[in-house]
Amino acid sequence: MRLAVVLAGCLLVVACATRRSPDASVDALMARYDGDGPGASLLVVRDGVPLVRRGYGFADLEHRTPASPQTDYRLASVSKQFTAAAILLLAQDGKLSLGDRARRWLPELPPVANDITIAQLLSHQGGLVDYEDVMQADTKVPLRDKDVLDLMAKTDRLYFKPGTSYRYSNGGYAMLALIVQKASGLSFQDFLRVRIFQPLGMNDTLAYVTEGPPVPHRAFGYSEEDGRWVRTDQSMTSAVLGDGGIYSSIDDLARWDAALYDDRLLSDASRKAAFTAKTRTDDPAVEYGYGWRITGDSVWHSGETIGFRNVIVRYPGRRLTVILLTNRNDPEPYKTALAIARLYR
């Protein structure tokens, strides 16, 4: 009997030793970001408690600055949830209505855009032509949101009748940033700072403009070319704020995530509006709300731009969130975030 107990104990030890802990499994999934290349910052938080909070690789290769939980990455399209929140805050304030036509606020838009509403811009149902497709190929000065409006003003066609279909629209979110400015009387970056970032203690988060404050703890973007990493931090569309110009860290995004569970910022009605599907997307498994994709029990958004790939995946019913920010052009992090989330079910 004693020998059997000893043998059973040995088998248990062996089994435990061969079964990875979630922590070790996370590091295995994140191994490609570790080492001497551009890296990543990862947060897993459940019930407000960080289960994983760490950096991998480097935020700045030239200065050998390691990535950390405080590192600020360009969020790219993860920024859209903040643009949507700004619009929802102004609707709460009674400064605008989601049913307003966009041309009420931006009369420079062409007559063909007359029926597009703010709600349709939020859910990518406006049909605006992609500004990247109509900007000059030899553009030398980075575009800003107002430049996108100028391009739209000269474009007398839509992809479809507003409200009848879906097409992801960076230009639509640039228009939303300009509407925030018109309705609030503040610049877009100042509105975000005063109404969202400061109240939530997101002190290292900002919509970056060259004439404004520098990005603290900044990560620089890189792309792999011929087996080596080359800094590819900005493009001619990087200065457009509404669709992707926010920098933030996993520590600050933890504060944002917490605020999405209560009414400290957005009302119950506003949060419900953001997280309720308004349309199906190009992927039949994915729907879109206001600044958020919706898949099963998750709400999420990815962000891709030159030198950065990011994702935030929230499981509100489980109060679990995975945030993965990276300063490299590859790999796309969504599947990695899903794999990490599965470790904590």
The answer, yes or no, to whether residue 3 has pLDDT greater than 60, is no
**pLDDT band at 138; cut points 50, 70, 90:** confident
**pLDDT band at 136; cut points 50, 70, 90:** confident
**pLDDT band at 345; cut points 50, 70, 90:** confident
pLDDT in the model for residue 264: 96
The span from the CA of 168 to the CA of 282, in Å, is: 9
For every residue of 236-303, DSSP letters joined together read TTTT--TTT-EEE-HHHHHHHHHHTTSSSSS-HHHHHHHHS--EE-SSTT-EE-SS-EEETTEEEEEE
- Whole-structure pTM value: 0.93
Mean pLDDT across the chain, nearest whole number?
93
**pLDDT band at 4; cut points 50, 70, 90:** very low
Q: Exposed, middle or buried: residue 191 (CB in 10 Å: 0-12, 13-18, 19+)?
A: buried
- pLDDT tens digit sequence for 14-70: 333 334 568 889 999 999 999 999 999 999 999 999 999 999 999 999 999 999 999
The domain spans of the chain are 22-342
Quick one: how far is CA 85 from the chain centroid? 12
At 20, list the tokens.
């990875």
- pLDDT tens digit sequence for 259-269: 999 999 999 99
CB 90 within 8 A of CB 121: no
For the structural domain made of 22-342, what CATH number should be given? 3.40.710.10
pLDDT in the model for residue 295: 98
- pLDDT tens digit sequence for 282-326: 999 999 999 999 999 999 999 999 999 999 999 999 999 999 999
Torsions phi, psi of 38, nearest 5? -60, 150
